[in-house]
Amino acid sequence: MHTNRLINETSPYLLQHAHNPVDWFPWGEEALNKAREEDKPILVSIGYAACHWCHVMEKESFEKEEVADIMNRYFINIKIDREERPDIDHIYMDAVQAMTGSGGWPLNVFLTPDGKPFYGGTYFPPAKAYNRPSWTEILYGVAQAFHERRNEIDAQAENLTEHLQNSNSFGQKTVKVDIPKDELFTYQHLKMGYDNLMKTADTIEGGFGKAPKFPQTFSIAVLLRYYHFYKEEKALQQACLSLDKMIYGGIYDQLGGGFARYSTDGEWLAPHFEKMLYDNALLMTVLSEAYQITKNPEYERVIHETIDFVKRELMNDEYLFLSALDADSEGEEGKFYVWSKAEVESVLQEDASLFCSYYDITEQGNWEHKNILRLKTRPGEFAQFTGLTAEELKIKISKASAQLLFVRNKRIRPQTDDKVLLGWNALMNMALSKAFGATGKEAYRKLAETNMKAILDKFNAGKEGLYHTYKNGLAKYPAFLDDYAFLIQAMIQLQEITSDVNWLWKARELAAFVKNNFEEASTGYFFFTSNTQKDVIIRKKEIYDGATPSGNAVMTANLIYLSIVFDIPEWMQQAVNNLSSVLQAITRYPGSFGVWATSLFNLVNGVNEVVITGENYEQFRDEFKTKFLPHAILQSAVDENPQFPLLKGKKKAKETLVFLCKNYSCQQPLTSVNTLFQLLVKSQASEHNN
């Protein structure tokens, strides 16, 4: 059996290729120096462990001796896990999109010996098909062009690199904004963004746009805020419709909990079966917000089921969260999750008929002659059809589901991508804080604290900051902007539910580190990579949201929060400047700038500063967190704390007091959280009537 250099890596994706006959290198000086010394083009092939078409191309091409022979003869071959090195993936994905108009994974890019891209694409078949040349034709064609038309290749690489640099110049004309916030950011901006978002909304099946459909949690978060501030019922309806269709659809694992990455069709039936940690974290966050508004018990159920799934299948014994579950098992996509009607009948016997009817299970199947479990009728309506009470139906379905899950667990499982990523753990940590706030389940608060301590222990790089990835006791690669931004955000949320101000001090320390190491001084925006990292051809600035939030958008929210908590006006000014630069983009393309929009809501409506002090501050705090109050900052303590402007002078009184403040100016203290809620509703109504 062949073994290449990837055998020494920890990434499950790289290890999958460790026995290919291709002479793969990991990204690093050894491969890059070899390319320069031998003056050979570099082939960079990028994918991730849960990627279906990555597996297909490996089996069809990279496992074949004759294909590997061509690759080894003409190229220096580098394999990259995009989740370990998102910085490299971003650069070369942009290059391929510029060249071909589309992108995806596996991403196969050809570089000059100095790392500049000149040709690339995604999946290439083993024989000419799908209007695509075969992989071997591509290899021979690129090798020939490199040797016979080198000047053209070098010129193309230079032009493409220059294009990437120029397209990365967003925000370079940013100037300090001297207009007051309330004049610069207005309701009209939010209204225009909302109208444009609703133009893309699918008002029948939920979600936005056509198939394939992604959860688009940031867009749902925008709708929840628009409803909260402006009482627009259509906003709440579309947000809830989108969540309902997902939780009753095939994208949600009806037996085991947890969401798949996206739906291949418009009605959420057939998912791409991989389950990613970040998707589940982002969905938990927005479901918690929706539950705070609606108190819909179905949202609470799905929050609990999904966190149970994450703990059961994506958490290691160090209380860190793993990256993903593969889409494939036994070489087939979705095999682990789908059922024939006969299988269900053999397990459930006399209960099968009810279960099959409930979950749309038929003889012919609803997907490729098999059945994906999904509800076409809401549980309450279904119960009425059957003559059962809602509770009786729930008991029967729960019992049957447990039986089927027991049988499913005996199947060959999809592989787990067991590397631990800092940013994705921070997103899950934030989700746990949000879920605790919404549901009050103490286990979520404890897990958030335990996970955060594990993160800071395992990802610690000393004076160099933090690492990006961790596995088997080894942390590596300097952390990226997203890692820091998401972690600061998680610490802010953790402080809100624990009252531990150490998390705020740590968040401030990390924010200062980000400013020192990632900030572009001329604009106030942040690069994706640190100024100490030298192995990329350009330093990119990511502005719009992708599958995960934009690091720049999250840092802007962090700067707003920390500027108020610590009274650092220049951080607020930086956030205002950055937000003003994307104002047009937020209003025109809200689906790609949803996280920016959430900060815009707060600056348009003003940030409420809420302080709780006294013996019962914990009980009051937890009650406060049950409500959806997206533009509130919360600090709580038994007594005053002069180190924080909001806690300064708020001495412990005979009874627990609640202060509502804006710009550090506080109203008369209240003696119940409920009175605070009533006051907030009144003040919001009067503001919008003016």
Query: What digits encode the pLDDT tens for the residues 139-148?
Result: 999 999 999 9
Say what the pLDDT of residue 688 is.
Answer: 62
Answer whether residue 150 is part of any domain: yes
Q: Is the pTM of this model over 0.85?
A: yes
Long-range Cβ contact pairs of 634-641 (< 8 A, separation 24 or more) = 634/496, 634/610, 635/495, 635/499, 635/501, 635/565, 635/609, 635/610, 635/611, 636/499, 636/611, 636/612, 637/499, 637/501, 637/612, 637/613, 638/613, 638/614, 639/613, 640/613, 641/501
Cα-only R_g, the chain: 26
Which pLDDT tens digit goes with each residue over 601-632? 999 999 999 999 999 999 999 999 999 999 99
Q: How many domains does the chain have?
A: 3
Alpha carbons 662 and 665: distance in angstroms, whole number: 5
Alpha carbons 137 and 186: distance in angstroms, whole number: 56
Q: What is the mean pLDDT of residues 311-328?
A: 96
Give the distance between the most distant pair of CA atoms in the chain. Answer: 86
| Burial class of residue 526 (count of CB atoms within 10 Å of its CB; 0-12, 13-18, 19+) | buried
- Give me the CATH number covering residue 69: 3.40.30.10
CA dihedral over 493, 494, 495, 498, signed as positive or negative: positive
Answer whether residue 379 is part of any domain: yes
Say what the pLDDT of residue 172 is.
Answer: 44
Alpha carbons 364 and 371: distance in angstroms, whole number: 8
Q: What is the mean pLDDT of residues 208-219?
A: 96
Domain boundary among 410, 429, 454: 410
Alpha carbons 285 and 430: distance in angstroms, whole number: 7
DSSP 607-653: -EEEEEESTTHHHHHHHHTTS--TTEEEEEESS--TTSTTTTT----
Residue 687's pLDDT band (cuts 50, 70, 90):
low
In 10 A of CB 681, how many CB atoms? 10
Domain boundary among 376, 395, 410: 410
Helices and strands per DSSP (H, E), number in the chain: 27, 19
Q: What is the mean pLDDT of residues 172-185?
A: 66
Answer whether residue 501 is part of any domain: no
**Does pLDDT of 267 surpass 60?**
yes
Which pLDDT tens digit goes with each residue over 458-492? 999 999 999 999 999 999 999 999 999 999 999 99
| Cβ contact 436:300 at 8 Å | no
DSSP tag of 412: P
348 lies in which domain range? 337-410
Minimum mean pLDDT among 21-30, 191-200, 335-344, 535-544: which range?
A: 535-544
How many residues does this entry show for the chain?
690
Please report which helix (H) or strand (E) contains residue 468, including its range: strand 467-471
Which pLDDT tens digit goes with each residue over 416-434? 999 999 999 999 999 999 9
Say what the pLDDT of residue 130 is.
Answer: 77
Answer whether residue 216 is part of any domain: no
Domain boundary among 112, 134, 167: 167
The pLDDT mean for the chain works out to: 95
Alpha carbons 580 and 96: distance in angstroms, whole number: 31
Answer whether residue 269 is part of any domain: no
Answer whether residue 572 is part of any domain: no
Answer whether residue 69 is part of any domain: yes
Answer whether residue 638 is part of any domain: yes
